[in-house]
Amino acid sequence: MLSTAPRAEPRAARLSITDRCDLACVYCRPHRRDGHLPAERRLAAAYWSTVVRGLTARGVRRIRITGGEPLVHPDVIEITRAIASVDGVEDLAITTNGTQLAALAGPLREAGVRRLNLSIDSLDPHRFFRITRGGRLSEVLAGLEAARRAGFELKTNTVVLGGEDGNEDELAAIAELAWAHEATPRFLELMSVGEGARIRGRIVPYARVRQHLAHLLADDEVARDADRGPAVYARARGGRRLGFITGTSDTFCSGCDRLRVSSDGQLRPCLATQDSVDISQAIRDGDVDAIGEGLSAAWAVKPGDDWGGCTEASAASVDMRATGG
Ligand code: SAM
């Protein structure tokens, strides 16, 4: 039956400030040397606060900086500081692979980032290297410790991978590591989006992820944090928390209040479709009203409960590093 639930209002935006990344995780990017946007198409650093002014004028309140890898952008601190000072930004967060975080955690916190999500898929250096196609685990662990010291509200993101060289045997250890760093661990189902579609055979369903972690959980309940995206959280023993993002078992489209801006100024209403509205000229013109109009146009084509704009094929054709995950 079709749902008649009212469409959520746009409240959250993820800004992919660069499509570049120093890693090439097997579910995200085909290899380390795949193409990037030509420099002339990438938005200059100074434009990002203009983007945010256009979005907040239409009600967006929560901003997450992502990529690619946002910390390889040479101007990430300046971008962050400028966004933090825009009227209407109530929450500024960043998602990072952590490789540059040992040096940048303090400056990011000082620039106004309050919440930080760090991706970590294995605690075995060799497996970590293979999953990320070249990443050094020691750098990311140093980044996690620096983030703890800098005082972020901290979460870890682990994409659960089945099959040979998967990480199913490590989930409890990753949760313990996160807790030891005052972070909330979260476990993501592999989504059949972009590169993820090519390895969909490695999806580990939510029910099995929970089984791996059952001995750490206090009960069977999960709850969503109000105004905080698609994750659900369970109570773990010892008064701790643990989160799940079930992007495959549950599409969580209903109530989605999020949109994305790519590094070349495309406004995307949904992670799993190629629909976009080009606001790059409005951004370069500093035309805040036109950015807001772009937002309205993008929102009008956002798939909801009642519109199946997203298909397996549309999801598979998405480039995760451009859309920011
Ligand atoms: N480079 C940063 C990082 O590694 O966190 C930010 C960008 S990355 C695209 C953002 C998040 O998307 C990461 O936590 C990553 O694990 C997740 N991600 C990417 N592709 C995914 C997929 N196919 N399924 C589930 N999560 C995915």
Query: Residues 182-224: pLDDT tens digits?
Result: 999 999 999 998 899 999 999 999 999 999 999 999 999 999 9
Residues 119-144: what's their mean pLDDT? Answer: 98
Contact 232, 244 (CB under 8 A): yes
> What is the chain's mean pLDDT, rounded?
92
Helix residue ranges per DSSP H, the chain: 48-56, 76-84, 101-111, 125-132, 137-150, 171-180, 195-198, 206-213, 280-284, 288-300, 312-316, 320-323
Least Cα distance to 271 among 314, 308, 224 occurs for: 314
Alpha-carbon gap, residue 271 to 279, rounded angstroms: 17
How far apart are the CA of 190 and the centre of ligand 1, in A? 9
> For position 1, what pLDDT does the model report?
37
Query: Whole domain around residue 158: which residue ranges?
Result: 12-323
Over residues 5-29, the pLDDT tens digits come to: 557 899 999 999 999 999 999 999 9
Contact 104, 110 (CB under 8 A): no
Structural domain count, the chain: 1
Angle at the Cα of 279 (from 115 to 119), degrees rounded to 5? 25
Q: Residue 203 carries which DSSP code?
A: B
> For position 320, what pLDDT does the model report?
65
Least Cα distance to 122 among 134, 137, 133 occurs for: 137
> For position 310, what pLDDT does the model report?
65
How far apart are the CA of 145 and the centre of ligand 1, in A? 20
Lowest mean pLDDT among 62-66, 104-108, 309-313: 309-313
| Residue 70 belongs to some domain of the structure | yes
Q: Which of 28, 192, 271 to mutate to test the pocket of ligand 1 (most atoms within 8 A of CB)?
A: 28
| Residue 72 belongs to some domain of the structure | yes
Give, in order, the Cα–Cα distances in Å from 65 to each of 13, 79, 289: 9, 9, 22
Give, in order, the Cα–Cα distances in Å from 311 to each of 2, 244, 253, 316: 17, 23, 13, 8
What percentage of the chain reaches a pLDDT higher than 70? 93
Assign residue 312 the CATH number of its domain.
Answer: 3.20.20.70
| Residue 133 belongs to some domain of the structure | yes
| Residue 232 belongs to some domain of the structure | yes
How far apart are the CA of 157 and the centre of ligand 1, in A? 8
Q: Is the CB of 119 under 6 A from ligand 1?
A: yes
Backbone angles phi, psi at 313, to 5 degrees: -70, -40
- Whether this prediction's pTM lies above 0.85 is answered by yes
| Residue 177 belongs to some domain of the structure | yes
How far apart are the CA of 289 and the centre of ligand 1, in A? 31
| Residue 6 belongs to some domain of the structure | no
Q: Is the CB of 69 under 6 A from ligand 1?
A: yes
Can you tell me whether residue 17 is helix, strand or coil?
coil
Atom of ligand 1 nearest to the CA of 193: 23
How far apart are the CA of 287 and the centre of ligand 1, in A? 31
Contact 318, 311 (CB under 8 A): no
How far apart are the CA of 1 and the centre of ligand 1, in A? 32
| Residue 1 belongs to some domain of the structure | no
Alpha-carbon gap, residue 49 to 45, rounded angstroms: 8
Residues 266-281: what's their mean pLDDT? Answer: 91
| Residue 91 belongs to some domain of the structure | yes
**184-206 in b/e burial notation, b at 16+ Cβ within 10 A?**
bbbbbbbbbbbbbbeeeebbbeb
- Under the banding of pLDDT at 50, 70 and 90, the label for residue 36 is confident
Q: Which of 23, 95, 261 to mutate to test the pocket of ligand 1 (most atoms within 8 A of CB)?
A: 95
